[in-house]
Every structure is written in structure tokens, then in C-alpha cells.
Structure 1
Amino acid sequence: MPLIRRTVSRARTGRPGPLIVLTVLALTTSGLTAASGAAAPAAAERPVAAPTPVTRAALDPALTGGRGAEVRFLEQEAENAVTDGERIGPDRTAYTLPAEASGRSAVKLRRGEYVEFTLPKAANAITVRYSIPDAPGGGGIQAPLDVTVNGKSRRTMTLTSEYSWLYNQYPFTNDPGADLLHPDWWITECACVPSATSPAPRIEKPFRPMHFYDEQRMRLPHTYRAGDKVRLTVPAGSKADWTVIDLLDSELVAPPHVRTKAVNVLLHGADPTGRRDSAPALDRAIARAKRLDLPVYVPPGTYQVNRHIIVDDVTIEGAGNWWTVFKGKEVKLDRPAPDGSLHTGVGFYGRDAADGGSRNVHLSGFAIEGDVRERIDTDQVNGVGGAMSDSTVRGLHIRHTKVGLWFDGPMDNLHVSDTIVVDQIADAVNFHTGVTDSSVSNSFVRNTGDDGLAMWSEKQANARNSFHHNTVQSPVLANGIALYGGTDNTVAHNLVADPVREGSALHAGARFGAEPFAGKLEFRNNTTARAGTYELNWNIGLGAIWLYALDRDVDADIRVTGDHYLDSTYNAIMMVSEWSVKDKYAIPAAHFKDIRVDGTGTSVLSARVKGSATFENVDARNVGAVGVNNCGAFNFPPTGSEFSLTDRGGNDGGTAAGSWLAPWLLPNTITCEDRPPVVSPPAPSPWK
């Protein structure tokens, strides 16, 4: 069945702009659950002394070498730990707790139950990723979680669902009882695509619950050794009927960084206890630092900041993101700001590009804790924003803002590195409009409400940028890494896992009114895991990497080299257009080389567009269906598909015949069966 039609408007986040067309992903059909790996033994069968495996994006680290961020913490999945609770998952069905968990599995605890992790290395701090129920009327609850090490030194972590649990249609709501936000939008909530549903006759409430998880950090009272046991227990009196633990990150936090030759914010009235507003003191310290050509130093503490701190030609250093925290409330403005914002909040902003932007800004070593609980795209309530050329952002930890770092160009030569962005309402990082010669590297992203890392070439092309050596996990909406137009941009050496809906791991889309793709578009040496979501309006599954021609041709020199696509829920590779433009736009030339595909629910390649692709040394195994699904533009001419494939040799595996790209499929044989039964592949394993 061809692509049906575009249905729902969704704006990219950032400054106000026109609503852009995007399809809505609804509930996946039954039977589409795929295993993320071999099932762990039940708690009763697991030896008490068994070590808790260390993973990366819920994978054996041996499968991810050289890809993703090198971080200071070690990840351990709760489903692999000792517990008397209930293991949930694996399940990839959208709007479920397992689907949004790392590795698509977690542990559900009732009152009095526990999960226990064995530390793999010395640690003095932990991060817990968890979910607890919403309040019946929305808005969240708080609940305790007891933390002990070796049965001693009990501390209580306060969990909250105040920053999770969104519902309904874009831009979503905190109200589980809300009626449809857009009754005129086309709604599909069944296992098929009906010929007409405007709106659906009955919508159950809560409608499309999502964004279930949050995380909490805690410094431990001592440094503990490898082999010590961290136990998380739900107290008997917890307000939460259940507590889901997804994972534990453990870390040995270094002592606070100290800068003596600097302007110290404490000498300008900043309050490290967080009781008083420190924004005016920061402004004074920045002004003095610029006069003296010195950095600003922010010692350990929690500093209350409830508005933007404007930065230009200044260096701001914290003591480390576990030690120096800027925390603020979201503040409703008396009247909308000129940019359309209805609120403000804590954030470090360069000057607007229209005013010349900022230059020579260097931010490092602190955390930004926002208070954003709903998605309002006109709001500038991002952790870092504005325009910053010739600048660096390094070693930040950002959570509970709308977007972690949203840069509005034109701007040039910005480099973000060693930064953690979690629990966002929208993107983690977005290069928006004319960002050039810039990068995001060695950074870690988890639980975004939209794209993890994005480049959006609205009005002016982003050019010569790179996203490299980053880890992106569990984007609840949209893609892990996405490029919307642009020239000569690169996505390389990243690790992307567990996208939930309306997107996949890697994406390049001619959409959202972006400037055209031009020059070279390069994906190189990336690894994806458990990627590919179910697009119910189209009634098909997406690829781990997908290229989408919606507004125009994707007419760049597309080079995909060295990628590994592991345990893909549906296809590994997807080339697609949309039914209303299927005869207008194409993907003329994509080249795939030295690719490994280990496990697909359906095909290696799904082609639903005009164009062509070449394949060289693309090896596949554990392929669930025919190697190639080639529908072309759905005109089915007697000459063959409008999408042609070229075999450049070495394309092995995937079928009993030895090649997923079999000779009878070439050059453009129509093999249009893009809804075959989904076959859950075995867990990925090293390639011999």
C-alpha cells in the first residue's frame, strides 16, 4: 500500500515559525515487539553474587568500540541486576514503559522491593534513570527511593514525575484528561490505515501517554570499591504504586576544579546556597571579567538563576558539573517577548544574530537545571542559546530545559564537547540557520522529547559541520541524529540507540522548509541499536537510517560508509518519499560501502522513492524478510522500479543463496512487499 498522505503539523523548536507538516506515529500494532537480546535470567534464578554487566546503550561494549562518547560513568542495566521486582520488556511498542527504557527493558518495583547493582569500579556518585506514575490529574508526584551500599549508609533519593508524562498531540499537554488538542487533524489509532478518520470516532484517555522517564544524580558519602553493592529499595510508605528502574550509572567524581586567577562570583554577591537570586551577581562578575580580561570562576554550590545570562567575549568556568549548578524556575512573562516567548528561565545566551551575535564565549564545568514541564515552541527556555561564534561549550550537564543547546545563526566556529544533555522536552542540540564550521563531539544525550542532535538549515544552509563520537539514547520523539538540508555536513563515529516514535536513529530529510542538501552528505562509522519505529499513518516500519525526500530532492553526494546497524526493528536502510510528491522528488544518488547489518525485523533496504543507490561490501545476517523491498514511486511501470540498485560487489549474507542483494533484484526489479511479518533477530554479536 503506498504512502497515504501528510497529516499533522509540527513545528521545529526554537524561535516561532510556521507549522511544518509531519506525520504522527501512533500505537504500534500487535506482533511488532522485537527482542533486544537474550532474556536475562529471572531474579529467582540469578545467583546473588553475580556481577552486573557493564553495557553501552544496553550493548556489549565490544560491539561499540570507537563509536559513541567516552564518558566518565559506567552504565549497568537494571534488568541485568539482582532484584526481587518484575522485569518488564523487552518491548518496542510506543507509549509503553519498556519501549522508552534503555535496551527496551527495565525493572518494576512495588513497595518494599529492590534492585541491586555490583559496582564495576570505584565510585562516589550514581545516576538513576527511573519512572514513577503521574498524579491522577497530571502534574506529577514525588516519591522516595532508598539507596544503600553494602546494606549501610542509607540515603534517600527523591524521585519526581513532575518533568515527565506528556499526553495527546503535538505540542502535547500535561493533562491526561484533555480532549484532542487538534480535532481537525487526521488521527489513526488502529492496526491499519483507514481510508478516512478525521477525527477518530473515539479516543481513549489518557491519549498517547509518553516521556515517562527522568533521572536523578546523587553523590555518595564515601568512595566505594569495585564489588560493593548499591541497592535501590522502594520504601514501604512510598506514594508511588510502582517505581521502574531503568539503569544505574556509577562514576568516580573528581575533586572540584579551582581557578584562582579569575573573577570569583562569590565576591560579587552570588549565593551558593541557592536561596537568593544570583543572576545580578553573575552579570557583575561578567562585566568585571571583561574589563580585566580574566575568566569568571563559579565555586561549588547551587546558584538560583531565573533568566538568561547574556554572554559575549567571556569565559565562565565552574568547579565541575557535579559541583557547580545553576538552577532556576520557569518564569511567566507579564507580556510576550518580541521573539514570542511567554516564559523565561535559566540559560546562558549569546546575543541575537540580528544584533551581531556573540564571539569568544567559553562555558565549562557546570550544570544547568531548568524547570520546563511543557512544550511551547515560541519559548526561549533553553539551557544555552543565541549565536556564539569562535566559542566553546565543554563539560556541561543540562536537564529539564526545553532544548539543551539551541543555536540560532548565522554563526561560525562553535564547538560543543564532553557535555551531557538529558531529560529534555525537545531537542538536545540544534544547529539552526546558517551554522558553519562547527561541531558536537564526545557528548552524551538521553531522553529527549525530539531529535537528539539536529542541524536544521532553515532560511540559510548549515555547512561544514560535524556530529562525531556522540552517544544518543532513547529519543522519545523523532530521531537520534537528524540533518534537515545543508552543505558538506558529516555524522561520524556515533552510537545511537532505542528511538521510540516518529523517527529513527539516523536521518536526513528534505523537509521543514529547509534549504537543499548540497555538496557531500556523509554518514561514517556510526553504530545504531534497536532502531526503527513504526509509522502508523504509512503503516510501515522505518529504517535504522532513513533518507526522506518530502519538500525537494535529496540531491547531495550521499556517502554512507562503515556504519553498523544492529538489531533493527524493521529495515536497516530506508529511502522514502511521500505519496503526494512521489512523482516530483527523488533521491538521485546514495552510496553505501563497508556496512554491517546484524539483524533486521524485515529487509536490509526498503526503497519507496525514485532514485538510485550503489552498494559495496554491505554484509548482512539475520535478515527477517527479503533483502530488498523495492516499490519505487508506486507507478509499477513495465520497465521496472523507478529506484535502481547497483551491485559493486562484496554484498554478502542475508539469504541462503549468500547475498541479500541477489542478482535477480538488479538493476530495478520491483519487489514491493513492505509489510512482511516481522521476525525478531537474535541479539547482536561480534562479527567474525
Structure 2
Amino acid sequence: MVNLKKLLSVITSFVMIAFLLLGLYVPKVKADDSVNLAKNKSITANSYVQGFVPQNANDGNIQTYWEASSNTYPNLLTVDLGTQQTFNRIVLKLNPSWSTGRTQDIEILGSNDNSSYSTIVARASYYFDPNTGNVVTITFSNKSYRYVRLKIYSNNGANGGQIAEIEVYYDVSSSTGKYEAENAILSGGAKVNFDHTGYSGTGFVDGYWIVGATTTFNVMVLTKTEYTLTIRYANATGSIKTVSLYVNGRKIKQLRLPNLSNWDTWADVSEFVLLNAGSNAITIKYESTDSGNINIDYITVKPKDRGANLPFIKHEAEYASTNASIMQYSVLYRTDIQSEASGRRAVKLDNTGQYIEFTLTEPANAMVIRYCIPDSVDGQGLNATLSIYVNNVHYQDIQLTSKYAWVYGEYPWTNNPADGKAHHFFDEVRLMFSTTYSTGTKIKLQKDSGDNAAYFIIDFVEFENVPAPISQPSNSLSITAYGATPNDGTDDKQAIINCINDAKAQGKIVWIPSGVFDLSGGPITVDNVTIKGAGMWYSVLRGSGAAFALNGNNCRFYDFAIYGNTTQRIDSAPETAFDGNAGTGSIIQNIWIEHVKCGIWVNYPTDGIQILGCRIRNTLADGINLCGGTKNSTVQQCHIRNTGDDAIAIWSATWISNNPSQNNTVKYNTIECPWLANGIAIYGGANNVVEYNIVKDIIAFGGGILVSSNYSCVAFSGTTTVRYNTIERGSSYEWNLNYARGAIWINAAQQDINATIGIQSIEIYDTPYQGIFIEGPYSVGSNLSFNNVYINGAGTYGIEIASNARGSATFNSVVIFGATYGGLLNSAGSNFTLNKGSGNIGW
């Protein structure tokens, strides 16, 4: 099969060379947007060939160059930076159109008086490779000099040293840290080119039609934390293309780069990455499992400004070392199990001896495994073991179950496989190791002969270095003093109730020490009490009675886990971890919740509850619902995954109260893989704010963020604000009504939405269906606006207006790339008005 892009590139190159020889063409060259400390500064040489003066070597034009006089080695080229400057990277360039490579022996020196020079980088041989654009990048620790000198000892391509550009950089962390691809380290066929327009800097990198083509950026940051990495690319092949992303040697993702209109159009994709303080290698590589055929312009790195700050590191199974089969990307609900996986890919171990091996990038003493095993024939759950190895030594067999996964039939589903339509495939298990393993330790999951499930599908693992347990606080009463006994399977509920009653009477804290405590029956009713544990990894309440009915002010919970026993959704059942009226002064902080109906559900007259740093996973309904008149409350820094309804909802439900849920804020949360409904939903109410969240992988029947008048809610009033959120793979299909729902979904379902709805500064990537979807049958009014919305990659339309939509919306700076069917579909015609302001692109 002919590679059309490569063929066109070859033809273009021949034409350009011919025109250059005839003097008819001068390539367009732009100045590098990075801070090049040497550009246009005073520069001298100890010799030069006539016409090839030293000033050519820092004029920003790659077509001009300095060449030293014949056989006058060593050649000296000296740049005066003007003042003493700190720098840590030097880029040397020759004309990328030169087809013959050459090696130059170069020493780099520095001085502050132009008299006494010190070596910065010792003499070494540098090959200027035409296959990588004739660019050499040299990095080193921070140096501080006014004068930078190249001392060239030899050049096997000419009789004197040659430099087209010398560029000097100080790479530091900044909110706009930009790294040009043409200045990166190129290998495997990646090379600099400038045969398209619209790029930044002095060129871009292509060659990604060759397997092995690699661009490596040296990124300097001051603080070890998560950053937002943005890659600017071009792809006009007609389909989504993929390349692999590595950070410090570990593959973290196969990037999906949507098709653009032409090769002169550039677009962005973003990923959140953990970087170390100091130097980091960020690599974009075309591997055999990728489709390649893209161009790279630059990357930017800035501190992450959205989502929860998470203490664990996720390792996707498909990027680990394995001898098993990788399940490829799919959004085929109910058909492909991996359609419910993170990133819609996973690894399947279905033969004895198959394994997945992960290498620790940080010390860790704990692990979470997200997995799927087959269900039992009767639907009650299959139990199986999976073998864990540490550095190839068997560590233990971990117990897995399908009991809390696999539901069937229609909503609210059953546990009967005969009802068909199986879904909700994944569950999780956590493990604390007996020691802390160091960076580089290899952790392997392997299907051994005694591991009796037909298959084990692994989505990912998360490694964490859990701190030591919290000590019992003073002024507290321990539940063990009232007869609760950990880890023995006996019922500790009454002992806990007794401890709570005495703590309230004495004004003391209830203390849950390390261990697993079992509770039967229903929830415990509480108010005006503080309950603390030794940490969410250490103190565990387990069973059907591991739940609290909130009934007043000052309900405060910290640092423990709740593991329920819910296997079927029964909305009337009291199987919510925290439920009811939390009054004023209530806090739920650092609580881990799994296997319940809902995580947290509060309602009127709750006022000002703080839900902070919680992990809510594997539920059969909502993660968190600020329902029926809840006000002035905050959900922040929570991580919510695999919920059976909205991960976070603000629902002004009239069946609870005619008061709106109002003045609530949902911010800095990370949501992944809700297997039903939406990432975040707002149903009516007033002055609620959803900001700085990350929503990923909406599986079915929902959107990334929903604004809706559905479900008998109090009408919208005031201003509803949705801003600074990132949504990835955030739309899904409504399989009962047979239509798709967008990453941003506006749904005037049961009444008009006349209040102000502001959607701003939203990033939407790789959404399987629409980026924005607006539907009726009621009117949206005239106060809906979209500002600074960026959509790259939509399986259908960038914006779709349903045929039953009514009203209008205003759009400013809504940018759409890679929408498969087009930027806009307005099926409502004149019934819905799109007021297009300035800055809109792609529709």
C-alpha cells in the first residue's frame, strides 16, 4: 500500500530543492516562540569563509549558516548573551535540507569576561543527521555565563566548522512552558520539516510514517506533581491516528489524534502527567501498534489546574509488559467488556502462564487492581484467585469475585444471567504489601494453574505509598473499649452504637482503630458526633450495616473506609453509606466507599456540608447527590469511579423539597467510568457551580456534564456556571431511546430553562459522539452561552441541536477539530437560533 503522505512529502521535497537551486523559492521560516537567549545577540568567530559570517549562526534563519575558514581548527564561535544568563540546553542546527550527514567534534565553554573560559560540556562527537533534521540538542545542569563558545575541532562534512543556528535556552517550569519539536532529540526517522504552514518556531517534526520515529523533549520543572501536557499536531490522513506517549521511560498512553481538515491545520490534545522535579523525558514515538502518519509542532507543559490531586499512580494494563492479548479500543456497550474499561482498552489473561508485569516508578506499599472475571452460572458471583509475583517471586494469591459486578436485563437490573444484556463488568480489589517496595520493583499478575477463572481481564493497577496509620486522638473513645473486635467476622454494630452514644454525651470523638469491623442490619442514625479512623486503608466498616443515617447538625466523619454488601439496585433500600439531613457544620472527609447503592446522598435542610478527599467506587447508583434543597455545600478533591448513576449530582428534587438546591460548588474532582448516566449532572436549582473537574469515559445513557430540567426538579433560577472542566471520551449512547448524548448535554426535558446557563473554558477530547448536544422538547430560552470551548475529536458532530430543541444559545470562541460528521448539525432548524459571536472555528 502506498503511503500517500510520504509520497507527497518526497515529491514536495524534490520540488523545493529544484526551486532552491533556481533561486525561485525561499522556505517560510518563523522565529522560535521559545526563549532563545542567543538569538540576534552579538556573535564572533576566529575565522569564516567569505559570505558565511558568524552572524548567520544566530539570525533565526535556518537557511543561512556560518562556516569557518578551511583547515583552521580549532574553530571558535562565541555568542555574547549581553549579561550573565542561566541556561541548561544548547541546540545546534544545520539546514534540514542538507542530505549528507556530518560529524563535528565540539566542546562547549562559558565565560563572564570573554577571557577566562570554563568547560560546560567536554569535547564530544555530534552527528548532524538528515533523517532527524540535522539538529543536535545538548542538555546539562544549570550554568550561568555571559559568553557561550563553541570550540570545533573537526568536521567530516567540510574543511571547517559549520553552524546554521546556535540556540541557548533555560528550561524552567512555567504556566506557558513551551517546547518546540524541532529543538527536541529526534531519532528513528523523525526529522525537521517546514513544508506546511501554520507551525510555531522554525519548523515541525515529521517522519512519523516510519515505525520507530521518536521525538524526545527534555522538560524541566521545579516541583514534583501532576502537569497538563498539551501536544500540538497535524493529521490530514482522513482518520484518527495513534502514537505512543512515554514519560521518563514509561509508556502512559496511546494518543488518539483526530483527523483535521488539511496539513496546514494544527490542533491540540492534552494529557495529565506526573513529572519529577528537575529534568524529565517526554517522548512521542511511532510503535508497531500505532498508526502514525502525523506531524508534531510543539508541546506545552503547565501545572495541572483541574481534577483531584491523587496520591496514587495509575498503570494501564495495556501499556505494561505482557504475553497476553491486549483488548483494543472499543465503545461497543454490552458487546465488548473493554468498552467499560479506562481508555476503553484492557488486557485479557485466559491461558495459564499469561501475565502482566508493572514496574514501580515510585516506592509503593499498596495496590488496587481493577479487574473483570466471568460471572457464575447462577449470577450470584464467582470467586477466583489471581497470582501476584514480586520480582518474579510468588508473593500471594489474591481473592477476586464477580459478586459485585455483572448485572442483567432492564433497569433496575437483576442478577439473573438468563435476562441477558450483561453489563457492569468491572470491580476492584485492594492490597497492602507487607513492606514498601522501591522504585524499579516489578509487580506481576499471572494466571497460574490454580487460578480457576476462565479469564482475568485487567484494566489497570494503581500503586500508592500509604502513610503510617493515624494515632488515636486525645479526647476520644475507642469502639474496641465497647466490645468491637476487628478481623473476626463477629457483629460489631451494637458496640459502635454504644460508643457513639457515650461520645455524644461526653463531647468526645469516636475512634475506629485499624482493622475490619463487621456491621449487620441497617444504617446507624447519627447527629452531633465526630467519628475518626486510622486512615482509609486501615480502619474499615464492612457489611449491610456499614452506613450512617444523618439526622442533624455536625455529623463529621474522617479517615476510614466503608465496604457495603449491595449486589442489586433497590432504590427503596437503605444502602447508602451516608444518607439524610446533614444540617449545618457537617464534614465527610477522606472516606473510601465501595459496594453500596449510593455513596453520599444529602437533602433538605442540609446547609454547608463539606465532602472532601473521598474515594467512591463501584456503586449501583449515584456517587454523591446534593439533593432536594441542599445548599451552600462543597464537593472537592474526590475521586469517583464506576458508579451506577450520576457520579455527582445536584438535584433539586421536588419530591423531597420545593426549595432549590442552591449555591453548591463541585470542584477539583476526578470522575472515571460511570457505567450508567452522567459524570456530573445539575437538575434545576440556583447559582450552582461546577468547575475544575476531570470527567473520563462515560459508558452509557449519559454525558460528561449534564444541565437538565428532567426528573421533577425545581426550575432553574439565578446563574448556573460550568467552567474549567476537561472531558475525555465523555459522550455515550441512550440504548433504549436510540440516540446519543454529548459530552456537554443541555436537556430541557420537563420544563423550560430560562435562567442563565454559562458554559465556559471547557476542553473536550476524543468524545465518541457529540461534543455539545442540546435537546428539548422544552425551550432553553435566551440565556444559554458557550465561551472558550475546545473540542478535538467527536465521533459524530461537534455541536448537535436535536430536532425537538427550542430556544437559542450564544457561542463565542467555540473551536471544533476532528468532528467525523461535521462541526454542526442543527436538526431544529428555525426553532433554535445559534448566535455566533467571534472566535468560532470549525463549524
Same fold per superposition (TM over 0.5) = yes
Is the alpha carbon distance of 1:35 and 1:435 closer, same or farther for their aligned partners in structure 2, counting shifts above 3 Å?
farther
2:498 to 284, 291, 296: 284
1:67 matched to 2:306: yes
2:271 pairs with 1:271: no
Deviation at 1:537, TM superposition (A): 4.9
Q: State the Cα distance separating 1:35 from its structure 2 match.
A: 10
Cα deviation 1:360-408 (Å, max 9, x = unaligned) = 1110100000000001111011111111122000000000001011113
Report the CA distance shift for 1:85/1:36 in structure 2 as closer, same or farther (over 3 A). farther
- Output the CA distance in 2 between the equivalents of 1:73 and 1:231: 18
| 1:417-456 equivalence runs, <5 A | 417-456=612-651
The equivalent residue for 2:748 is: 549
Shift of 1:290: 1.6
Partner of 1:189: none
Aligned positions of 1:194-209 closer than 5 A: 206=420, 208-209=421-422
One-letter identity of the residue aligned with 1:219: M
Q: Which residue of 1 aligns with 2:604?
A: 409
Give the counterpart letter for 1:493 in structure 2: Y
Amino acid of the structure 2 residue aligned with 1:504: G
Is 1:610 equivalent to 2:806 in the alignment? yes
Deviation of 1:260 after TM superposition, in Å, equals 3.4
Mapped contact 2:701–2:735 kept (Cα < 8 A): no
Picking from 432, 443, 448, the partner of 1:235 is 448
Q: Does 1:80 align with 2:319?
A: yes
* Structure-1-length-normalised TM-score: 0.78
Measured after TM superposition, the shift of residue 51 of structure 1 is: 3.0
1:169 corresponds, among 410, 425, 428, to 410
Match for residue 786 of structure 2? 592
Can you list the C-alpha shifts for 1:268-301, whole angstroms capped at 9, x where unaligned? 1111224321111111211221222121111101
Pairwise CA distance, 1:38: 2.7
Could you tell me which residue of structure 1 aligns to residue 675 of structure 2? 476
Identity %, equivalent residues: 33
Match of 1:336 in 2: none
| 1:639-685 C-alpha deviation (Å, 9 max, x unpaired) | xx211112221112x3xxxxx2xxxxxxxxxxxxxxxxxxxxxxxxx
Query: Partners in 2 of 1:150 and 1:237 — Cα distance?
Result: 20
Contact 1:554 1:588 in 2 (8 A): no
Q: 1:225 aligns with which of 438, 445, 449?
A: 438
Find the aligned partners of 2:561 and 2:252 in 1 and give their Cα distance. 29
Tell me, in whole angstroms, the C-alpha distance in 2 between the residues paired with 1:537 and 1:214.
Answer: 25
Kept in 1, the 8 Å contact 2:365–2:437? The answer is yes
Distance of 2:839 and 2:345 partners within structure 1 = 36
Instruction: Encode CA deviations 1:83-118: one digit per residue, 9 max, x unaligned.
Output: 111111200111121110000000000132110111
**Letter of the 1:166 counterpart:** V
Which whole-Å CA distance do the structure 2 matches of 1:603 and 1:416 have between them?
36
The answer (yes or no) to whether the contact 1:54–1:75 under 8 Å persists in 2 is: no
Cα offset, 1:485, TM superposition: 1.1
| Greater RCO, 1 or 2 (C-alpha within 8 Å, sep 6+) | 1
Bigger Rg, which one:
2
| TM superposition shift of 1:623 | 2.4
Counterparts of 1:177 and 1:489, CA distance in 2: 43
Aligned-partner Cα distance in 2 for 1:155–1:508: 47
Residues 501 and 473 of structure 1, relative CA distance in 2, 3 Å threshold: same
- CA offset digits 1:549-597 (Å, max 9, x no partner): 11101222010111101111121111102xxxx3x54443211111211
1:5 aligned residue: none
Superposition deviation, residue 424 in structure 1: 0.4
* SS of the residue 2:250 aligns to: coil
Task: Evaluate the alpha carbon distance shift between residue 55 and residue 38 of structure 1 in structure 2; reply closer, same or farther with a 3 A threshold.
Answer: closer
Q: Return the alpha-carbon distance in structure 2 between the equivalents of residues 627 and 118 of structure 1.
A: 42
2:443 is aligned with what amino acid?
Answer: V
| Residue 835 of structure 2: aligned partner | 646
1:134 and 2:372 correspond: no
The structure 2 residue matched to 1:293, chosen from 498, 507, 510, is: 507
Are the equivalent residues in 1 in contact too, given 2:387–2:451 (CA < 8 A)? no
Aligned to 1:511: 710
Structure 2 match to 1:99:
339
Contact 1:599 1:621 in 2 (8 A): yes
Contact residue 317 and residue 459 of structure 2 kept, 8 A: yes
Q: Is the 8 A contact 1:531 1:544 kept in 2?
A: yes
In the alignment, is residue 316 of structure 1 matched against residue 531 of structure 2?
Answer: yes
Q: 1:258 aligns with which of 460, 464, 471?
A: 471
* Among candidates 334, 348, 351, match of residue 108 of structure 1: 348
Q: Could you report, residue by residue, the CA deviation over 1:446-467 in whole angstroms, capped at 9, with x for unpaired residues?
A: 1111111111111131011111
Partner of 1:501: 700
Letter aligned with residue 622 of structure 1: G
Please give the secondary structure, in 1, of the residue aligned with 2:498.
helix
8 Å Cα contact 1:52-1:117 kept in structure 2: no
CA contact (8 A) 1:150 1:228 kept: yes
| 1:523 corresponds to which of 710, 715, 722 | 722
Q: Are 1:216 and 2:429 counterparts?
A: yes
- State which drifts further: 617-626 or 373-382: 617-626
Separation (CA, whole Å) in 1 of partners of 2:515 and 2:377: 35
When residues 100 and 59 of structure 1 are mapped into structure 2, their CA distance, relative to the original with a 3 A threshold, is: farther
Who is 1:38 aligned against? 242
Alignment partner, residue 377 of structure 1: 571
Q: CA deviation at 1:150?
A: 1.1
The offset of 1:617, in angstroms, is 1.7
Aligned-partner Cα distance in 2 for 1:498–1:360: 36
Residue 60 of structure 1 and its aligned partner are, at CA, apart by: 2.9
- Aligned residue for 1:128, secondary structure, equals strand
Separation of aligned partners in 2, 1:271 and 1:418: 28
Q: How far has the Cα of 1:625 moved from its partner?
A: 2.4
For structure 2, the 5+ residue unaligned runs are 1-237, 257-268, 274-300
Deviation at 1:312, TM superposition (A): 0.8
Q: 1:112 to 1:521 in 2, by over 3 A?
A: same
SS in 2 for 1:627: strand
Give the Cα–Cα distance (whole angstroms) in 2 for the partners of residues 153 and 251 of structure 1: 20
1:396 aligns with 2:611: no
Q: Over residues 588-634 of structure 1, what are the superposed CA-to-partner deviations in whole Å (9 max), with x where a residue is unaligned?
A: 321111121111122221112111111112222222222111112xx
1:379, 1:283 → 2: CA distance? 21
Q: Match of 1:138, as an amino acid?
A: G
Distance apart, 1:472 and its partner CA: 0.8
Give how far 1:55 is off. 10
DSSP 3-state at the match of 2:448: coil
Q: Distance in 2 between matches of 1:247 and 1:94?
A: 19
What is the aligned partner in structure 1 of residue 93 from structure 2? none
Contact 2:641–2:671 (CA under 8 A) maintained in structure 1:
yes
In structure 1, the residue matched to 2:30 is none
CA contact (8 A) 1:36 1:530 kept: no
- Whether the aligned pair in 2 keeps the contact of 1:36 and 1:104 (CA below 8 Å) is no
Matched to 2:519, the amino acid is V
Distance, in Å, in 2 between the alignment partners of 1:35 and 1:545 is 24
* CA–CA distance in structure 2, aligned partners of residues 119 and 300 of structure 1: 27
Deviates more, 1:433-442 or 1:585-594: 585-594
SS at match of 2:310: coil
Higher strand share: 2
Q: Which amino acid letter does the alignment assign opposite residue 368 of structure 2?
A: T
Is contact 1:52–1:119 with CA below 8 Å preserved after alignment?
Answer: no
Shift of 1:39: 6.8
Q: Pairwise mapping of residues 11-30 of structure 1 onto structure 2 (< 5 A)? A: none
